[in-house]
Amino acid sequence: MVISADRQQVLRLIEAEGAQVVDVLPPREYDESHIPGAISIPLKQLTRETVSVLSRDKPVVVYCHDGLCDMSPRAACRLEAFGFTQVYDYVEGIADWKAAALPLEGNKDQPPRVTDATRTDVPTCRPDATVGEVRSVVAGEWDVCVVVDCDGVVVGRLRRSALGEGDESRVEELMEPGPGTVRPDSLLGPLVDRLIRRDIPHVLVTTPQGKLLGVLVRDEAKRLLAGDPPEQIWADCDCCPGRWTTAS
């Protein structure tokens, strides 16, 4: 029976069981980017002969674009018909993999993505924390703390200005709920243009499930687009290791 798998299941299958990953998208899309180690067997070329490269003793994970694409479930059905007994359909596909900022293989001459400019050292706090507890996190040059709950899901943003409240005040009482976020697989250039037009100096980067990946600082991203090497950008940045101006 074909089993629907999410990203965590796919990672476990690859790491613990040596699963074979099959990209069933057209060759051009496979060449642009694919899950590391994935084998290209486009759906239109999926036959008993082409799947002979796969071992029947290991799990097989198939994927296509995303949850709205029907190529992977169709491919999984065919593999089962060919006698494979451990077939998994990675339902959310390559879009979900990219959105989680996981490694990719493929053509390196691709336009920069948000993940290329994402910083991961932004401070975080929980909604049930007290102001007294958070002051030590939002110390020095930090202006804000990202409020996370449910294993890292972004639920709010706490500005430095709120830290003047009493030590026992709770973060959830003072935070700004629902700050804007972007996905790590978004094109960097158009996003930076929008941030400039709206005069927003930073934006939070999350997975499709809302889990915090980091923060993109507009001026750093501009330098990356201009061709400055990342290591020089981080070395020169006056907001490193912890200062960045909060957006309104």
* Residues 88, 76 contacting (CB under 8 angstroms): yes
Find the distance separating the first CA and the last CA of the chain, reported in whole Å.
51
- What are the two backbone dihedrals, phi and then psi, of residue 153, each rounded to the nearest 5 degrees? -75, 135
At 179, list the tokens.
């700050």
> Which amino acid type is present at position 192?
V
Q: Is the pLDDT of residue 21 over 90?
A: yes
* Residues 92, 84 contacting (CB under 8 angstroms): no
What's the chain's average pLDDT?
A: 88
Q: How confident is the model at residue 162 (pLDDT cuts 50, 70, 90)?
A: confident
Give residue 149's Cα distance to chain centre. Answer: 17
What pLDDT does 227 receive?
82
Domains and CATH numbers, the chain: 3-99 (3.40.250.10), 114-236 (3.10.580.10)
Closest CA to 224 of 117, 114, 118, 113: 117
Strand order in the sheet with 39-40: 3-5, 87-90, 60-63, 20-23, 39-40
From 16-25, 29-38, 90-99, 100-109, the region with the lowest mean pLDDT: 100-109
Q: What is the mean pLDDT of residues 180-202?
A: 93
One-character DSSP codes across 168-179: T-BHHHHSEES-
Q: Is the pLDDT of residue 165 over 80?
A: no
Q: Is the pLDDT of residue 138 over 80?
A: no
Per-residue pLDDT reduced to its tens digit, 209-243? 899 989 999 999 999 898 876 656 655 554 444 43
* Residues 5, 91 contacting (CB under 8 angstroms): yes
| Crossing angle of helices 188-197 and 218-225, rounded to 10° | 130
Region for 150 from its dihedrals, namely left if φ exceeds 0, alpha if ψ lies in -120 to 50, beta otherwise: left
Q: Is the pLDDT of residue 248 over 80?
A: no
Per-residue pLDDT reduced to its tens digit, 54-111? 999 999 999 999 988 999 999 999 999 999 999 999 999 998 998 888 889 988 677 8
For residue 70, the number of C-alpha atoms closer than 13 Å in the C-beta half-sphere is 1
For residue 248, the number of C-alpha atoms closer than 13 Å in the C-beta half-sphere is 2
Q: What is the mean pLDDT of residues 122-130?
A: 92
Residues of the chain with pLDDT > 90, as a percent, come to 59
Give residue 100's Cα distance to chain centre. Answer: 2
Please count the other Cβ atoms lying within 10 Å of the Cβ belonging to residue 23. Answer: 26
Beta partners for residue 62, in sequence order: 22, 89
C-alpha to C-alpha distances, 178 to 174, 194, 210, 247, nearest whole angstrom: 13, 19, 10, 13
